[in-house]
């Protein structure tokens, strides 16, 4: 049996479940509640008793409705949009990458084949993790050297004096040689994770093939590992380079615990064998949507986005006195040029009722640091009670030198 539960971002999940007639294990609800209250959207699936629960966290801009199919369709549309934009702007880099996201690309040739089912997104996620593991071990050639003792009638390697003295058969010449062999603790860990994945998550043939390839390539003796140790300091310190950290995230994904990684819930992470989770922050998705929309609209002759054009959007400024000088940084989401005039643009993942003073002040500061006089605040939705006009110039009563517009983009 499968049951669907829909919760909005920032909504109290305990109350939402009670309203929808569900009484679930608090272990699951505490985790999902943390995500929802921290402005994540996504899904969480798990087995409890004989029932398979699928919990969807919808964005604040898409209130849940009575019809489950409509709720599910809205969520899948959002997830599809996320991956389309992620693929279109694959060069976007952020200083703090959201490690809860496994960013598998939906390549252009696969667009027409893509399904609209959530289970397929889970399959894509695991497929990407397996590709990451496979790619890593194709180029990973960590080796050790072991000493091999043997005898022959000819001297080819280091003479073993002690054994030759003790040897009664003088036709045997004892020798020692050093032989390199492939050995990797990362390979041992990966094989155990793949074993766990095959047992609890999927009977994927590619996963089984990959496990066999790694086992055949490496000497997997003399190091023991259990999947529950994946978050221990002893294991974490083995993953040092950027490639090794990507491997680590892929292994977390195969265990179904990548979404726990930022929550320090390590003690609980492997108690839920049948869970699948996938979360991301909607504000970044909205920034991409706004950038994509403005590019296509041709409203601006030039457009710079902080995720792509940091040199154009970032500017240093200073606060100083006679004795002290402190450096600060101004980095609005976008800077656009229209009719030979530059605008600073901030994208707000908020439902516009009235603009927050702190948002206006930041916009004004970012403009004045650059010697500009105009800015734009962009929102995904305006409340029905808002009295503010869109696409209309506003100024502070005490400072006429700076003006700003309010816009809504919900494409």
Q: Residues near 206 by Cβ (< 8 Å), separated by ≥ 6?
A: 127, 130
Distance CA 338, CA 343 (A): 8
The DSSP output letter for 219 is B
Instruction: Indicate the pTM of the whole model.
Output: 0.64
> Bridge-partner residues for 378, per DSSP?
347, 407
Task: Provide the phi-psi class of 241: left if phi over 0, else alpha when psi is between -120 and 50, else beta.
Answer: beta
The shares of helix, strand and coil residues in the chain, as percent rounded to the nearest 5, are 40, 25, 35
d(CA 221, CA 183): 9
Q: Parse the chain into domains and list their residue ranges.
A: 2-134+237-280, 143-182, 283-408
b/e code 166-188 from CB counts within 10 Å (16+ = b):
eeeeeeebbbeeeeeeebbbbbb
Cα 69 from Cα 401, distance rounded (Å): 50
Q: Is 171 helix (H, G, I), strand (E, B) or coil?
A: coil
Predicted confidence pLDDT, tens digits, the chain (411 residues): 778 888 888 888 788 887 887 777 666 677 667 666 667 788 777 777 777 778 888 888 888 888 988 988 888 888 777 777 766 776 654 333 333 332 332 333 344 344 446 666 677 778 888 988 998 888 887 666 667 788 888 888 888 888 888 988 888 989 888 766 556 788 888 999 999 888 877 777 889 999 999 888 887 766 678 877 887 778 888 888 888 888 888 888 888 766 544 444 444 444 444 456 677 778 888 888 999 999 999 899 999 998 788 888 999 988 888 888 898 899 999 999 999 999 999 999 999 999 999 999 999 999 999 999 999 999 999 999 999 999 999 997 777 899 999 999 986
DSSP state of 103: -
Q: Specify the DSSP element, H or E, that contains 122.
A: helix 118-139
Q: Which CATH number fits domain 283-408: 3.90.320.10, 3.40.50.300, 3.40.50.80, 3.40.50.10900?
A: 3.90.320.10
E-assigned strands of 33-103? 41-48, 51-58
């Amino acid at each position: 049996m499968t049951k669907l539960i829909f919760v909005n971002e920032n909504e109290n999940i305990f109350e939402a479940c009670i309203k929808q007639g569900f009484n679930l294990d608090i272990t699951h609800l505490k985790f999902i509640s943390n995500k929802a209250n921290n402005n994540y959207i996504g899904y969480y699936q798990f087995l409890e008793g004989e029932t398979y629960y699928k919990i969807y966290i919808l964005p604040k801009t898409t209130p849940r409705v009575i019809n489950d199919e409509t709720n599910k369709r809205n969520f899948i549309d959002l997830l599809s949009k996320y991956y389309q934009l992620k693929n279109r702007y694959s060069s976007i880099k952020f200083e703090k990458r959201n490690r809860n996201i496994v960013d598998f690309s939906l390549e252009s040739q696969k667009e027409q084949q893509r399904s609209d089912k959530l289970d397929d997104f889970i399959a894509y996620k695991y497929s990407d993790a397996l590709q990451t593991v496979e790619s890593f071990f194709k180029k990973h050639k960590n080796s050790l050297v072991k000493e091999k003792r043997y005898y022959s009638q000819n001297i080819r390697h280091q003479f073993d004096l002690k054994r030759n003295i003790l040897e009664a058969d003088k036709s045997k010449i004892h020798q020692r040689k050093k032989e390199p062999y492939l050995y990797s603790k990362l390979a041992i860990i990966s094989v155990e994770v793949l074993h766990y994945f095959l047992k609890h998550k999927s009977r994927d043939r590619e996963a089984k093939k990959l496990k066999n390839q790694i086992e055949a390539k490496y000497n997997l003796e003399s190091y023991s590992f259990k999947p529950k140790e994946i978050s221990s300091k002893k294991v974490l310190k083995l993953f040092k380079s950027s490639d090794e950290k990507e491997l680590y995230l892929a292994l977390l994904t195969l265990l179904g615990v990548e979404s726990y990684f930022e929550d320090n819930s390590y003690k609980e992470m492997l108690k839920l064998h049948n869970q699948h989770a996938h979360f991301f922050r909607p504000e970044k998705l909205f920034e991409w949507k706004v950038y994509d929309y403005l590019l296509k609209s041709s409203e601006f002759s030039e457009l710079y986005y902080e995720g792509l054009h940091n040199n154009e959007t970032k500017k240093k400024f200073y606060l100083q006195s006679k004795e002290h000088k402190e450096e600060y940084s101004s980095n609005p989401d976008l800077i656009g040029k229209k009719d030979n005039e530059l605008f600073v643009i901030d994208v707000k993942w908020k439902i516009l009722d009235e603009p927050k003073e702190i948002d206006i002040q930041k916009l004004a500061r970012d403009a004045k640091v650059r010697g500009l006089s105009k800015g734009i605040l962009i929102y995904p939705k305006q409340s029905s009670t808002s009295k503010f006009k869109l696409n209309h110039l506003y100024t502070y009563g005490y400072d006429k030198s700076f003006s700003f517009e309010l816009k809504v983009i919900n494409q």
